[in-house]
Structure 1
């Protein structure tokens, strides 16, 4: 079976099906509403699938701290002094063996409702991804539904010392945790009264905070709602476990698994391995690992080889931002994919904003060519500004050429964030944090997305004409990518060749070719918001030779909209194509043999 592109749809689970439009800052669940697992019904999942999606990343599934009263279900109330927002951060997990009760119609049956969603997603032919956050857990972690034999984080820790190899947390002996000093008028819950909102949270001794702060009173900008996990890294940074030999970077997951099999490892390693295997047993197909570079690469070798031994096709995606660590986390840590943020995303963002040059993109691809398949591409996710936000570019259409390039320049997966396909602008003032990014901390409606949801008809019935056109563009593009063999084949840039030799071709245009044995593509994009470009694109002799082209001309089809284009003419071994690009237009041209 030939490999095809992977396309991930990241969806913030509690926001997807919420049709409430009130959007009161710091609004309660009753005021602003919340979506449920059940909102992903057959119609909704069919529409996601038809968009060209292969994998759904359900963000915010594990039970994290929330400001809502679930005492009736045996769940302790969370303290607003150590919760960000009212709905809580999905990255402050409170119970790894259950799911967010907000997402269930019947909270006591919440895990079964999620398992039903897994089954529905699989029946539509898509894979399921969820988050695991190995670097930290919620300050008030409390496993209520642990499987038999599973003990909570910290239960057996020696709290009299800062560090012990098998402690799950780091401690600040002889101290007491203090909540941050609230600044610039900030108050938890926007100042609304809550019995637990008293600037106090009992934690004796205080623990290190998730981002590494060793103060018993973290700063308001620290990850104060979380505590850091200990993987056997001493406070001075030295490692209290056996290192992975360098040659293992070239060895497969089976060899890695064998290496760790008889080793004595820190307790936290086993805890997180067991968490991953638990979710896989429920049918989850893969994971997105939050802030993976803050956890030792040796742990990832152990964790990911264990996952792959259970399911060699498991999808493993990690958040790593330091390019110097990419290859270690891929080869030694056995990650399938890393965010391509610092290289491709940042470069494309600058081009979209008008001051970057397309010249940088081939340089980025060349620098990553040995790991290009492992660098997942995106233009939006929950951490980044919405494209249509005025603080980014203010118009969703400006992303069209960027999206074509992001989705077609390499063999790596493509990811889009729910609402991106209809131009959501993230302008809601939800409470905690600031607009431009759809809130992950509060109960909120997502207006453009809600127009597509259309009172849970999931048919786009309330979309504007421009929003419908944008979604149609994404649908055409993504469906083309998952069916193209060339996009899993070879790549060569032809940008600099044309920039040096083609009149009216400049750094607002980008061109490259992709090919496999049975498909040849020429891709050219215009990033300019205002300017048309008309030129004769040249295909170098070496490409013509690699493609084995013998005739003097070939017909071309534009794959996104099915239009015939001018011929590829070959003269003296060089290919020539007349190109006419409107502002923000791309041509994906396939060669007709």
Structure 2
């Protein structure tokens, strides 16, 4: 027994010198998510029985996408690493309202998409795969032909029928009609109660995890404060991400005081779409956006980063207009989105470099079965983002930015990652000093598996044109091998001890 206890003490002592890789055991938060944005009607047709008035040749008609279609593709979405899906509005819409933004009934499901039970099944199947579901919600307006418009008792449910005459006047923005759509009067107590009850009902009824709030700036801030409080009382950690389409980031950030958690980051989009759609563009403006965001928002890490969506020309089209290979350009943009601060939001089809111009051309049908290297690359980036917490919540520091080549560092606790993105047409070499990165270590590339050891001057990175690499700072291989010796010897000694001990016991018997 004494020998056994002595051995166990020695074993514990040896194991204390073995380095243990840090694990991210913290509870999953929204800044850890990766969102796949789907226009329901254009994604996948999983049920032909609801295909009435469908015309795939008309870009402004229904094309057949539905809940069953999305459910059938959940594994495809999960395999790319996405942890949440954002769906365009699913409420019943008037004719030609394939996109979901022309509401006819706030409490009913659009019949082209399926039934309420089929949507509940979609949410349930998504949750089984640990995928959260975000619904697009519109409370600013109804469709052009909503039944309330002819109901005398609901005459005061709408603002005066006039357009937005002065976009710099907040009263005009909130009370005028956007694109001629009837503008709801949230200040009417009946309207306010209806909208709040409706928003809570969908959460209770379907167990969705968040709302993407449409046309936020067209609704008064006081309403959003009440809205946020009410919906968050229904479900813990319910997420609100708003769309405030405005050039002034201060204007956008001010809506963060209403209880809305996050926003789709249009300033990021404007710079990222420009920078990555062509080579030799500096990423300095993106870093300026980040610095500004840290001063404007309580948590800038949960802003939604994107390079295209259903309201703008597809990123692929931007690259083609500049005579660029869209696949190379998309991979570079994704490299930044998945390693820099913020929640990456990927519009369906970006993974296959789907083309598209202005609305509705940017809402083409998704094409499955096509082979594209972006899908593989996207999956790998997702794995890295999950594996290394520093890529999701680490500090952000730019180490080098010149001639289209950018290197930045993300640090979280003891984990250090270095990201190098070469947005130029030439191979680039960058020397990083030991003041920027700890000496006597090595950088291990996790995309191309290159190992760079430190010298007395620091680290020399070589990155090929229009490529990116993610490095993890770790001890040199020689040191790692020394640490590995106990890992091999200790189990071996334990096995030998076990057999000797067993033999002696048998002999005594």
TM value normalised by structure 2: 0.76
Question: Does residue 584 of structure 1 match 2:466?
Answer: yes
Question: Does residue 272 of structure 1 match 2:195?
Answer: yes
- 1:48 pairs with one of 77, 88, 92: 77
Question: Does residue 420 of structure 1 match 2:302?
Answer: no
- 1:535 pairs with one of 430, 433, 437: 430
Q: Which has the higher helix share?
A: 2
Distance 2:308 2:43 in 1: 16
Q: Using the TM superposition, give the Cα deviation of residue 434 of structure 1 relative to its aligned residue in structure 2, in angstroms.
A: 5.4
Q: Secondary structure at the match of 2:112?
A: helix
- 1:312 pairs with one of 236, 251, 267: 236
Bigger-Rg structure (1/2): 2
Alignment RMSD (CA, Å): 3.0
Q: Which has the higher contact order (CA 8 A, sep 6+)?
A: 1
Structure 2 equivalent of residue 442 of structure 1: none
Q: Using the TM superposition, give the Cα deviation of residue 320 of structure 1 relative to its aligned residue in structure 2, in angstroms.
A: 1.0
Count of residues in Structure 1 that have an aligned counterpart in Structure 2: 425
Contact map agreement 1:301 1:334 (CA 8 A) in 2: yes
Structure 2 equivalent of residue 407 of structure 1: 338
Structure 1 equivalent of residue 252 of structure 2: 326
- 1:386 pairs with one of 289, 314, 334: 314
Given the superposition, is the C-alpha separation of residues 568 and 314 from structure 1 closer, same or farther in structure 2, using an over 3 Å criterion?
A: farther
Given the superposition, is the C-alpha separation of residues 348 and 124 from structure 1 closer, same or farther in structure 2, using an over 3 Å criterion?
A: same
- 1:93 pairs with one of 103, 111, 126: 103
Query: What are the equivalent positions in structure 2 for 1:229-308 lying under 5 Å apart?
Result: 229-232=184-187, 266-281=189-204, 282-308=206-232
Structure 2 equivalent of residue 82 of structure 1: none
Deviation sequence 1:344-366 (CA, Å, 0-9, x none): 21112221244743222222211
Given the superposition, is the C-alpha separation of residues 484 and 155 from structure 1 closer, same or farther in structure 2, using an over 3 Å criterion?
A: farther
Distance 1:37 1:420 in 2: 21
Distance 1:87 1:296 in 2: 25
Distance 2:221 2:174 in 1: 17
Given the superposition, is the C-alpha separation of residues 27 and 351 from structure 1 closer, same or farther in structure 2, using an over 3 Å criterion?
A: closer
- 1:15 pairs with one of 42, 62, 80: 42
Query: What are the equivalent positions in structure 2 for 1:125-274 lying under 5 Å apart?
Result: 125-142=130-147, 157=153, 159=155, 167-171=156-160, 213=176, 223-224=179-180, 226-232=181-187, 266-274=189-197
Q: Secondary structure at the match of 2:316?
A: coil
Deviation sequence 1:252-280 (CA, Å, 0-9, x none): xxxxxxxxxxxxx7332222211111110
Q: Using the TM superposition, give the Cα deviation of residue 394 of structure 1 relative to its aligned residue in structure 2, in angstroms.
A: 6.1
Where do 5+ consecutive residues of structure 2 fail to align? Answer: 1-24, 49-53, 163-170, 476-509
Given the superposition, is the C-alpha separation of residues 156 and 270 from structure 1 closer, same or farther in structure 2, using an over 3 Å criterion?
A: farther
- 1:560 pairs with one of 430, 447, 463: 447
Structure 2 equivalent of residue 396 of structure 1: 327
Question: Does residue 363 of structure 1 match 2:288?
Answer: yes
Q: Using the TM superposition, give the Cα deviation of residue 88 of structure 1 relative to its aligned residue in structure 2, in angstroms.
A: 3.7
TM value normalised by structure 1: 0.66
Given the superposition, is the C-alpha separation of residues 417 and 26 from structure 1 closer, same or farther in structure 2, using an over 3 Å criterion?
A: closer
Question: Does residue 35 of structure 1 match 2:65?
Answer: yes
Contact map agreement 2:281 2:423 (CA 8 A) in 1: no
Given the superposition, is the C-alpha separation of residues 137 and 433 from structure 1 closer, same or farther in structure 2, using an over 3 Å criterion?
A: same
- 2:378 pairs with one of 474, 479, 482: 474
Distance 2:61 2:240 in 1: 34
Structure 2 equivalent of residue 115 of structure 1: 120
